[in-house]
A and B are shown apart, each in its own frame.
Chain A
């Protein structure tokens, strides 16, 4: 089992560029989510999905877009990158106990 797989692991963007962070899970979890991690702030929820075709906003959704066409995949799109979006992004999927399983993270730098 691969668990939760994220790509790319590293990315450098210029302000205004767009990109997609990919996330896939093979645990057949209905729940998937994206967090960003910034120093001293823990993890903050960006968007989440409780199943294919269903998405909703978390705590810090502005500047990001998501879709969920399959159970396995949950991509995160940055529409027009800003330096404030420089962060480490984690995708997670969740089981029935509420526990989350995290991908390895994607480190994004916006210049």
Chain B
């Protein structure tokens, strides 16, 4: 059974600081996704990583994928309050949209 573990589950950051969220998974896959969810809202796709070594950046967020280590990271640079949300990683082990999600990381950016 595929397990997807995020670390940390809760992160309180000061504005302007950098931090990384980690996503480990237990089976072979080279498809990994990051989503953002605001309270009471739907999930918004942030990054689609489809190969080993894939790196994508959008604004202050950068995601990478190491399929050999079964690890993805979401790096936050110079955090701002608007980044406060819950971030999920998800893995597609069967190459067919059946995503398995981590528990989510609640990010709070304090000014």
Question: In the bound complex, do residue A41 and residue B98 qualify as a contact, i.e. CB atoms below 8 Å apart?
Answer: no
Report how far A107 CA is from B90 CA in the complex, Å: 22
Instruction: Name the distance in Å between B37's Cβ and chain A's nearest Cβ.
Output: 9
In the complex, B45 has a CB within 8 A of chain A = yes
Decide: A31 near B96, CB < 8 A? Known: A41-B103, A42-B104, A43-B101.
yes
Instruction: Name the distance in Å between B109's Cβ and chain A's nearest Cβ.
Output: 21
In the complex, A75 has a CB within 8 A of chain B = no
Report B-chain residues with C-beta under 8 Å of the C-beta of A97. 31, 48, 50
* Total B residues in contact with A, Cβ cutoff 8 Å: 23
Report how far A70 CA is from B46 CA in the complex, Å: 29
Our pick among A95, A98, A104 for the contact of B99 (Cβ within 8 Å) is: A98
Report B-chain residues with C-beta under 8 Å of the C-beta of A105. 41-42
Report how far A97 CA is from B99 CA in the complex, Å: 12
Q: Name 30 A/B residue pairs within 8 A (Cβ), A-sorted.
A: A31-B97, A33-B98, A40-B103, A40-B104, A41-B103, A42-B4, A42-B101, A42-B102, A43-B90, A43-B99, A43-B101, A45-B100, A90-B42, A95-B97, A97-B31, A97-B48, A97-B50, A98-B95, A98-B96, A98-B97, A99-B33, A99-B48, A100-B33, A100-B45, A100-B90, A100-B97, A102-B43, A104-B42, A105-B41, A105-B42
